[in-house]
Amino acid sequence: MLTKWRIAIIMTALAMLSILMTACGASTGSAPAANTPAATTASTTTAKIDCVSGTLSTGGSTALGPLVQAAAKSYQSQCPGANITTQLTGSGAGLKGVHEGGLQIGNSDNFVSLKKNPEYSDLTDNQVAVVIFAVIINKDVTGVTNLTSDQIKGIFTGKITNWKQVSGPDLQIAVISRPSGSGTRNTFSKYVLGGSDETVSGASHSTAKTSGDVAANVQSKSGSISYDTIDFAKKNNLTTVKIDGQDPTPTNVESNTYKFWNIEHMYTKGAASGLAKSFIDYVKGTDAASLRQQYGFLDISSLSSDALAAKTPKA
């Protein structure tokens, strides 16, 4: 009889333990549900592409070009009805193209100057990112890690012709410029040369049309110096030099301690609409943040108001 009672007690205990384990299991299973609102909130912070079908022609800045090309490829993969092409022709050609109607978007490294080009009053400025430029030198130019603005000006105006004049090796300086109309050249002239233009000439001087050409030429030509985006410099393992003691880093750009940078623009004729607006919103929006970072661009919102004011023309 006692044995039967013992069995009954054990069975009752096992039943209660089973109920307890089931309750615990249910409690554990409900934990992910508590995280669902956070996951939903996170997903809503990622912008959804407003896909628009059609054909879009963009062109201009070879500095901004790689980002635009990558963004076009990404946009088209998510919006199969869109066909986007990009011409790497230089900022000047981009502005002319959109003004004359051959392009729907003209990419430029610079603000449009209506004093110089009043005909461009029909263009609308769409600012999408910040580009960092750098002065780059060939690997044979040893010992040069910093150049002052005055030294750079001396090199690009032909007054300094040998690297030994700026604490470098006894080696002739080969200057590689960008052509007139280049947004990168305009930025270099304004913020590094103090508003002066390049006047160097002679056998040791040459011109490279695109940012990619600049990088390739500096890489291969002994004693050479030029200027390019920090992205092209890094991807081609080129040596960058400080300007007035400041490195071309995002932190220094954000405070405008380093001066050689600019805002990138995608101009449209009139207000952007349709596929042009959708694509511009994508280039500067949340979905393309990783692309901007990959190609060395900064978000405009990351810069101080003083830095942005320094690059924005006075009305």
CATH of domain 132-254: 3.40.190.10
For residue 235, the model assigns a pLDDT of 93
Token digits for 68?
């635009």
Token digits for 67?
């980002």
pLDDT digits (tens, 9 = 90+) for 246-287: 999 999 999 999 999 999 999 999 999 999 999 999 999 999
pLDDT digits (tens, 9 = 90+) for 216-227: 999 999 999 999
* Contact call for residues 213 and 132 (beta carbons, < 8 A): no
The mean pLDDT of 189-211, rounded to a whole number, is: 96
Token digits for 222?
């002994």
The mean pLDDT of 176-182, rounded to a whole number, is: 94
How many angstroms separate the CA atoms of 159 and 138, rounded? 20
DSSP assigned state of 27? H
How many angstroms separate the CA atoms of 97 and 178, rounded? 20
DSSP assigned state of 172? B
Domains 54-110+123-128+264-307 and 132-254 fall in the same CATH topology: yes
Give the confidence band of 315 by pLDDT, cuts at 50, 70, 90.
low
- Spell out the domain ranges in the chain: 54-110+123-128+264-307, 132-254
Q: Is the pLDDT of residue 205 over 90?
A: yes
260 in helix, strand or coil?
coil
The second-level CATH assignment, the architecture, of 54-110+123-128+264-307 is 3-Layer(aba) Sandwich (3.40)
pTM, 2 dp? 0.82
Work out the percent of the chain whose per-residue pLDDT is above 70.
85
Mean residue pLDDT of the chain comes to 87
- Report the candidate in 120, 102, 25, 30 with the shortest Cα–Cα distance to residue 60: 102
For residue 49, the model assigns a pLDDT of 85
Token digits for 35?
């995280």
* Contact call for residues 103 and 116 (beta carbons, < 8 A): no
- E strands, 122-212, are 123-124, 127-137, 146-147, 174-177, 205-207
Q: Is the pLDDT of residue 295 over 50?
A: yes
CB count in 10 Å sphere of residue 124: 15
